[in-house]
Structure 1
Amino acid sequence: MAPTRAERAQRRQVYVSMATELVIMAGTVMLAYYFEYTDTFNVHVQGFFCYDSAYTKPYLGPEESSAVPPILLYALVAGLPTLVILVTETVLFLVQYTSKEFDRLERTVATGDCCYLNPLVRRTFRFLGVYTFGLFTVDIFVNAGQVVTGNLAPYFLTVCKPNFTALGCQQALRYISHQEACTGNQGDILHARKTFPSKEAALSVYAALYLAMYVTRTVRAKGTRLAKPALSLTLMCLAFLAGLNRVAEYRNHWADVIAGFVIGGAIAAFLVVCVVHNFKGKLLLSEEPPPSPSPSQDHLPGGAVLNMGRVDASLEKYIASQNHIAFAEVT
């Protein structure tokens, strides 16, 4: 049977929507890649005062030597929410699937008339897709802030190794604004110019808040009244400790970490409230089937319904009474 005009229009609208989302996602990933791995955007060269105590903290080594190394942080940020969402959605789907008769459920085609997507797959892709988009968005916001501000790390002068004698810092407090003042490793110097806001703080809070709101809004099982708040507070505490570790190891200032917390928390709250609408959505794509018209209802040509139930009941009572009277007269 050939699809109708309305079905073709619906299918076209779904295809356009999917293509638009893919283009936006691809553009977000590419922009994050250019910020992270290329020199397309030059970091602002911020100056410093001679012997400024705010930038003379010791350098504790590369990021890999940190108590929370990047590989551990990124693995938790990417893997933990994905695992929790997959397991939770699977369990909820199986519980709801076994609690209803699947034959009574009304299929909803998610992508026009071309195919039928399992509701578990669609919900999981939706929540994880929005979460992934948010990760790249946080990365873009953080990298943009670091490139524009060029804020110096607390250990900047330690890796910069400026020649204060040649810069004339003995006689007066001078402000050094040219990049050639540093004689240290250029890679360490460049990294020390990209601290505001803190990427680690932003990503950790974003992942913790998104996952905490997902668990709080989705899990409705009995006995979780205290388990859900405990899990949510544990996630937020771990994110807070990740930010504190950045300050304790002199890799970020307090302002860098606070700005990262604000960015990550704001993006997570916006996506949860305005995009996935607090994780609302049906696991099984149907409601109870609409009640079929009873045999006592006759449909008129204009769409009106003539309810004959009360008339039929009165007629039956009248007939029963007449039969009773006739039976009494015979006897």
Structure 2
Amino acid sequence: MAGGRPQLKRSFSIIPCFVFVESVLLGVVVLLAYRLEFTDTFPVHTQGFFCYDSTYAKPYPGPEAASRAPPALIYALVTAGPTLTILLGELARAFFPAPPSSVPIIRESTIVSGACCRFSPPLRRLVRFLGVYSFGLFTTTIFANAGQVVTGNPTPHFLSVCRPNYTALGCPPPSPDRPGPDRFVTDQGACAGSPSLVAAARRAFPCKDAALCAYAVTYTAMYVTLVFRVKGSRLVKPSLCLALLCPAFLVGVVRVAEYRNHWSDVLAGFLTGAAIATFLVTCVVHNFQSRPPSGRRLSPWEDLGQAPTMDNPLEKNPRPAGRIRHRHGSPHPSRRTAPAVAT
């Protein structure tokens, strides 16, 4: 409804739709993300490499848990940070509503399902935004893992864990006559290192940690920008959004500095996460705004607030309309002077 107190609306399909449709889809996404991440259901593509290629000959930085940005910390931040931000924003919106304005605001109705279930607008918005965020988080994981499985791009420390036998592979050592690699190895058994480390070293493009951080930061920054209302300052929301962007950028820098990913892998992860977050915010949750009732689309001008207006001087006539004298001084009762036209 537009303005005023929200009305009650009865719906007997909201609970079955949530249980049998949305929950099932979310479960399928979670299962697919688990299969891509922790099982061998989808084998990683074996990409060849050049002998003595310095691009993949960086030292092994150790397991992921020993990183300065370990996966446990990243998963905790991308889960807790946006959840707390959305929770605080919706609580503030519910207990401190915006003052009424001359522009009608589309408000949601309280849905009553059956005789016992009552879904208030704050609860519906909270479940909707957090549910879409969770769906997008696992979708980002699927996209990143699928890209890694399909491409099989080696990490900068790939040769350190692969430990190929260059003599058996027929790779001559580099010399002044041949300063660069001259033979491309495609043998499936070229690596003599640990199979688990070699398989992990083939999953570099795109960087999954960068994709998750970019998704979480983009979704949260758009929520802060579109939902938060701060009076008297124009720098609070930009400062908060930039503060959210800093950890994601630092994660990408750490991944490159520790020789775990290339810059191209990190940039591809950033683009993947940001694209998924932008799509979900604009096309699924509609910029965190309530949908108009009865299928009516909200005009872009109805959500802009009261904009300053300027009076048109052509619509005003400060001189009262009266009798205008003729050129010879005699009054003419029916003729008025026409406005001058600029040439």
TM category, shorter: 0.7 to 0.9
Tell me whether 1:117 sits opposite 2:152 in the alignment.
no
Residues 195 and 256 in structure 1, CA contact (< 8 A), matched pair in contact too: yes
What is the TM-score when the length of structure 1 is the normalising length? 0.76
Tell me whether 1:75 sits opposite 2:76 in the alignment.
yes
- Could you say which residue in structure 2 is the equivalent of 1:209? 218
Q: Secondary structure at the match of 2:122?
A: helix
- Could you say which residue in structure 2 is the equivalent of 1:294? none
Deviation (angstroms), 1:210 = 0.5
- Per-residue deviation, residues 162-209 of structure 1 (Å, max 9, x unmatched): 111111101783211122111111111111000100001100011011
Distance 2:134 2:233 in 1: 27
Letter paired with 2:90: E
Deviation (angstroms), 1:244 = 1.6
Residues 163 and 191 in structure 2, CA contact (< 8 A), matched pair in contact too: yes
Residues 200 and 242 in structure 1, CA contact (< 8 A), matched pair in contact too: yes
Distance 1:94 1:159, change over 3 A: same
State the superposition RMSD in angstroms: 2.4
Letter paired with 1:139: T
The structure with the greater share of residues assigned to helix is 1
Letter paired with 1:92: R
Note the 1:26-105 alignment, pairs <5 A. 26-96=27-97
Distance 2:225 2:166 in 1: 56
Note the 1:1-331 alignment, pairs <5 A. 11-12=12-13, 15-16=16-17, 19-96=20-97, 108-109=110-111, 111=113, 115-170=117-172, 173-281=182-290
Identity score, percent: 55
Residues 230 and 236 in structure 2, CA contact (< 8 A), matched pair in contact too: no
Residues 247 and 254 in structure 1, CA contact (< 8 A), matched pair in contact too: yes
Residues 155 and 192 in structure 1, CA contact (< 8 A), matched pair in contact too: yes
Deviation (angstroms), 1:266 = 0.2
- Per-residue deviation, residues 47-91 of structure 1 (Å, max 9, x unmatched): 111101110011111111111111111100011111111112112
What is the TM-score when the length of structure 2 is the normalising length? 0.74
Deviation (angstroms), 1:237 = 2.4
- Per-residue deviation, residues 232-254 of structure 1 (Å, max 9, x unmatched): 01212221221121111111111
Moved more, 63-72 or 235-244: 235-244
Residues 14 and 112 in structure 1, CA contact (< 8 A), matched pair in contact too: no
Distance 1:47 1:209 in 2: 35
- Could you say which residue in structure 2 is the equivalent of 1:315? none
Distance 1:112 1:210, change over 3 A: farther
Distance 2:230 2:191 in 1: 59
Q: Secondary structure at the match of 1:116?
A: strand
Deviation (angstroms), 1:18 = 5.0
Unaligned regions of 5+ residues in structure 1, if any? 1-6, 100-104, 283-331
Residues 60 and 160 in structure 2, CA contact (< 8 A), matched pair in contact too: yes
Bigger radius of gyration: 1
Residues 57 and 158 in structure 1, CA contact (< 8 A), matched pair in contact too: yes
Deviation (angstroms), 1:14 = 6.2
Letter paired with 2:223: Y
Distance 1:232 1:13 in 2: 34
Residues 11 and 113 in structure 1, CA contact (< 8 A), matched pair in contact too: no
Distance 1:106 1:63, change over 3 A: closer
Distance 1:106 1:67, change over 3 A: closer
